[in-house]
Amino acid sequence: MSTTAAFAAAGPATDDLADGAPQYTLSGGDWDDVVARIAARDEADRLKHDRIVVNMGPVHPSTHGVLRLVLEIDGETVTEVRVGTGYLHTGIEKNMEYRTWVQGETFVTRMDYVAPFFQEVGYALAVERLLGITDDIPEKATVTRVLLMELNRIASHVVAVGTGGNEMGGTTLMTIAFRCRENILRVFEMVSGLRMNHAYVRPGGLAQDLPEGLTDFVRSVMPDMKKDIHELELFLMENPILKSRFIGVGEISLAGAMAMGLTGPCLRATGYPLDLRRTNPYCGYETYDFEVPTYERSDCYNRLRLRVDECYQSLKIVSQCLERLDAIAARGNHPSNTAMVADPTIAWPARMAIATDGQGQSFEHVREIMGSSMESLIHHFKLVTQGFRVPAGQVFQQVEHAKGFLGIHAVSDGGTRPYRVHFRDPSYSNLQSLALMAEGGMIADLVPTLASIDPVLGGVDR
């Protein structure tokens, strides 16, 4: 009998071995052929059970900051995703414990630097609750905060849509998005003097009053913003290549989203209309007319569509803010037509104004504290250097950030500096859903899935 025939006839006999290893009965002398067959089978078994681990990063794949993803793959299929953060850590929360309550605004604006006004407003609302002055904030300051947040929501969403499209090879999408965002940054610069890192919203109101002609300028750029958003929508929504890459990719159910703490547009795409502007209104959001868009399936495509829909709703709110600001300005010298609470122990720098050089304090205020009143100068000096005292206590303030639920836990021990301020950042909580969305999919699908979450690592690594 030939060796090959004997090999086939005998076959594997596993009953006689305790460990289940195959046993062969051979005859003849063709041993090399037999050994090669067994070696090939063992190599195939070994490769089948090997864990291939690759690093995606630390890089910048639609994350607006440095993120590392550790992947286990089987060929092109992702079997496990682990998110590694901490590469952009700034120690913001700890640093705030060594600064006054007002100085904290200069830190929080640097967290999610794509959407800074949400942190500024959320932190100011928390401090105002500790001070017990929530109802004393002038209407002009409150409406301005809503205006800035909604413009910032549009800026954040178009960056998410544009850079996500750029990751798929559509550079034009990113240029349109940044063209839209540029008009919004011009508004921010007109209001605060800065395109980012504003620290314009302060406990008690705003750092300075609004410049003349702001509402007219915003109205003048809104048509261009709306046109850019619509152009993004036309480029994306019916693009067959994008639809094939986005529909059904990175999908997560409502149950999975709730279990993983998913929030913001990613959650609303599952059909759950959770929006703090409706459920837990602040800054008078209950008085504005707008809708909360939802879809029935949270995949990359619907998460993108939802952000476009929210941009249109934010434009609707912006229009209402402009009408209210014009009505407030028409009242003239009225308490509602101010940018800061009247309490002089908190109000600094309420009397600041942009001078002819584009910076600095108003001449009238400088003249008073430097030439008219020694008491005003001493008070100004102490308020700037030492800060105001905040009664002991703790609050938890919620804000509907562009990325989702932003929570601020502020604790005071009665001093001029925070005892502790902790932020529940939406990008950080949303990232833990990436594994549930991406595992079982292709490596190529991981990038649009991550882009559809839209994390900003400045907020993650605060």
179 and 326 in one domain? Answer: yes
For the segment 50-71, the average pLDDT, to the nearest whole number, is 78
Q: What is the pLDDT of residue 61?
A: 58
pTM of the model: 0.84
Helices (H), 138-170: 139-167
Is 90 exceeded by the pLDDT of residue 58? Answer: no
pLDDT tens per residue, range 357-395: 555 556 666 666 666 767 767 777 777 788 889 999 999
**Distance, CA of 317 to CA of 315 (rounded, Å):** 5
Where does the pLDDT of residue 4 fall: very low under 50, low under 70, confident under 90, or very high at 90 and above? very low
131 and 7 in one domain? Answer: no
Phi, psi at 365, each rounded to 5°: -70, -45
Average pLDDT, the chain: 84
Residue 363 lies in a domain: no
111 and 186 in one domain? Answer: yes
For the segment 136-158, the average pLDDT, to the nearest whole number, is 94
Residue 409 lies in a domain: yes
Residue 272 lies in a domain: yes
Residue 460 lies in a domain: no
125 and 20 in one domain? Answer: no
Q: What percent of the chain lies above the pLDDT cut of 90?
A: 43
Residue 210 DSSP label: P
190 and 277 in one domain? Answer: yes
Pair 73, 443: CB distance under 8 Å: yes
DSSP assignment of 169-180 equals T-HHHHHHHHHH
Q: What is the pLDDT of residue 67?
A: 87
pLDDT tens per residue, range 174-225: 888 999 999 999 999 999 888 889 889 999 999 888 888 899 999 999 999 9
**Distance, CA of 278 to CA of 398 (rounded, Å):** 12
**What CATH number does residue 293 fall under?**
1.10.645.10
Place of tokens 């309420």: 350
Residue 360 lies in a domain: no
**How many structural domains are present in the chain?**
2
Residue 443 lies in a domain: no
420 and 311 in one domain? Answer: yes
Residue 146 lies in a domain: yes
Which has more pLDDT, 35 or 119? 119
Is 60 exceeded by the pLDDT of residue 423? Answer: yes
Q: What is the pLDDT of residue 125?
A: 96
156 and 26 in one domain? Answer: no
**Distance, CA of 214 to CA of 276 (rounded, Å):** 28
38 and 154 in one domain? Answer: no
Is 80 exceeded by the pLDDT of residue 49? Answer: no
Domain that holds residue 38: 3-49
Is 60 exceeded by the pLDDT of residue 350? Answer: no
Q: What is the pLDDT of residue 353?
A: 53
237 and 166 in one domain? Answer: yes
Residues with Cβ within 8 Å of residue 181, at least 6 apart in sequence: 155, 158, 159
**Distance, CA of 456 to CA of 155 (rounded, Å):** 13
Q: What percent of the chain lies above the pLDDT cut of 70?
A: 83
251 and 188 in one domain? Answer: yes
Is 90 exceeded by the pLDDT of residue 291? Answer: yes
Instruction: Please classify residue 393 by burial: count the beta carbons closer than 10 Å to its beta carbon, then call 0-12 exposed, 13-18 middle and 19+ buried.
Output: middle
186 and 42 in one domain? Answer: no
32 and 168 in one domain? Answer: no
Residue 447 lies in a domain: no
